């Protein structure tokens, strides 16, 4: 994200007096003209998803999950902002709002999974199935995400330098921050796998338990989010003029769509009912051992 915003600022400063032949912020950063139709469709889909998630949340009074529908709403606004961005491609405020509203919300999607994992371990099974204390999982991984984001920001600052050495170092730091963030999320997924395998080793069949769907939806949504993370790493590794960043279709297919699939999973399988119906089962399970 830092790289995109810094590129935009540099483009704006280089084009303080614009003529019809000079490049715009959007053309410098993306090297394509954003599709207003695609932006409207994506914004509409995320808006519908946001309404459904809010409905699920209020019906179940699951305030701990408020980050998911709020983030989805912001992302919907971010997609709709691509429409005026296409109309005013040299407007730095519009560009920055669009970038922030499409790049920041996924962090909240991940946070929702972190929180759900902790609640699942505590309420449904047993703490011994988790490598990390389940109450602290969300805290640790959110701190990890914030730290890697700051690393990316620092790398983006160096990348904006006119010095060739600093520019290259900044790009490497930026890429390293994103790689570390992806590896951190991979480790979170390993926590889920470890818990799943440990439960199976104890002779418990998740599909026969009321909490069983939580494992499936956690793994499915996390896999969707991981696709997006990998896409971002490859995109950044290719550089500002790389194939992925300069072709809008991949932004929708490998970034927006996996995220939408991931959050939409919770529209169908809102986890609260599985958590609540599992309280008695968890107590019975603890008494077995």
What is the structure's pLDDT at 116?
95
Q: Could you write out the DSSP letters of every residue in 209-266?
A: STTHHHHHHHHHHHHHHHHHHHHHHHHHHT-TT-TTTT-HHHHIIIIIHHHHHHHHHH
Q: How far apart are CA 216 and CA 61, in angstroms?
A: 23
Identify whether 101 is part of a domain: yes
Closest CA to 227 of 192, 276, 186, 190: 186
What is the structure's pLDDT at 152?
75
Identify whether 164 is part of a domain: yes
What is the structure's pLDDT at 20?
47
Identify whether 288 is part of a domain: no
Q: What is the mean pLDDT of the chain?
A: 85
Identify whether 286 is part of a domain: no
Q: How far apart are CA 288 and CA 126, in angstroms?
A: 12
Q: Look at 98-112, 115-129, 229-243, 265-279 and tell me which has the smallest mean pLDDT.
A: 265-279
Q: Are 261 and 107 within 8 A, CB to CB?
A: no
How confident is the model over 220-242, as a mean pLDDT? 91
Identify whether 285 is part of a domain: no
Q: How far apart are CA 176 and CA 21, in angstroms?
A: 36
Q: How far apart are CA 142 and CA 154, in angstroms?
A: 18
Is 16 exposed, middle or buried (CB count within 10 Å of its CB: 0-12, 13-18, 19+)?
exposed
Identify whether 56 is part of a domain: yes
Model confidence at 88: pLDDT above 50? yes
Tokens 């170092």 -> residue: 169
Identify whether 60 is part of a domain: yes
Categorize the per-residue pLDDT at 159 as very low, low, confident or very high, splitting at 50, 70 and 90. low
What is the structure's pLDDT at 154?
73
What is the structure's pLDDT at 163?
61
pLDDT tens-place string over residues 161-208: 556 566 677 778 878 888 998 999 999 999 999 999 999 998 888 888
Q: Structural domain of residue 106, as residue ranges?
A: 2-15+24-280
Question: What CATH number is attached to the domain comprising 67?
Answer: 1.20.1070
Q: Are 143 and 108 within 8 A, CB to CB?
A: no
Q: Are 182 and 233 within 8 A, CB to CB?
A: yes
What are the C-alpha distances in Å from 102 to residues 3, 149, 251? 14, 15, 11
How confident is the model over 237-245, as a mean pLDDT? 86
Categorize the per-residue pLDDT at 264 as very low, low, confident or very high, splitting at 50, 70 and 90. very high
Identify whether 268 is part of a domain: yes
pLDDT tens-place string over residues 11-46: 444 444 444 457 888 888 788 999 999 999 999 999
By residue count, the chain amounts to: 289
What is the structure's pLDDT at 73?
97
The percentage of residues in the chain with a pLDDT greater than 90, rounded to a whole number, is 54
Number of domains composing the chain: 1
């Amino acid at each position: 994200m830092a790289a995109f915003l810094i590129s935009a600022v540099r483009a704006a400063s280089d084009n303080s007096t614009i003529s019809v032949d000079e490049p715009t912020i959007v053309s410098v950063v993306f090297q394509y003209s954003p599709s207003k139709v695609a932006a409207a469709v994506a914004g509409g889909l995320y808006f519908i998803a946001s309404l459904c998630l809010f409905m699920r949340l209020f019906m179940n009074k699951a305030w701990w999950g408020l980050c998911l529908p709020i983030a989805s709403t912001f992302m919907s606004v971010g997609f709709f902002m691509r429409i005026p961005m296409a109309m005013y491609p040299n407007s730095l405020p519009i560009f920055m709002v669009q970038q922030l509203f499409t790049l920041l919300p996924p962090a909240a999607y991940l946070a929702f999974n972190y929180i759900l994992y902790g609640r699942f371990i505590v309420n449904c099974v047993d703490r011994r199935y988790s490598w990390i204390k389940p109450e602290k999982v969300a805290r640790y991984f959110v701190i990890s995400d914030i730290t890697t984001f700051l690393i990316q920001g620092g790398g983006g600052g160096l990348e904006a330098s006119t010095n060739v050495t600093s520019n290259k170092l900044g790009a490497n730091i930026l890429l390293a921050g994103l790689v570390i963030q992806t590896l951190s999320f991979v480790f979170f997924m390993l926590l889920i796998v470890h818990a799943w395998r440990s439960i199976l080793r104890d002779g418990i069949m998740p599909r026969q338990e009321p909490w069983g769907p939580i494992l499936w939806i956690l793994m499915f949504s996390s896999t969707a989010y991981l696709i997006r993370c990998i896409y971002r790493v490859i995109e950044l590794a290719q550089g500002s003029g790389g194939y992925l960043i300069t072709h809008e279709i991949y932004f929708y297919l490998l970034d927006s769509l996996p995220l939408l699939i991931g959050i939409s999973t919770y529209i169908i399988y809102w986890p609260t009912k599985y958590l609540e119906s599992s309280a008695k089962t968890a107590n019975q399970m603890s008494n077995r051992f």
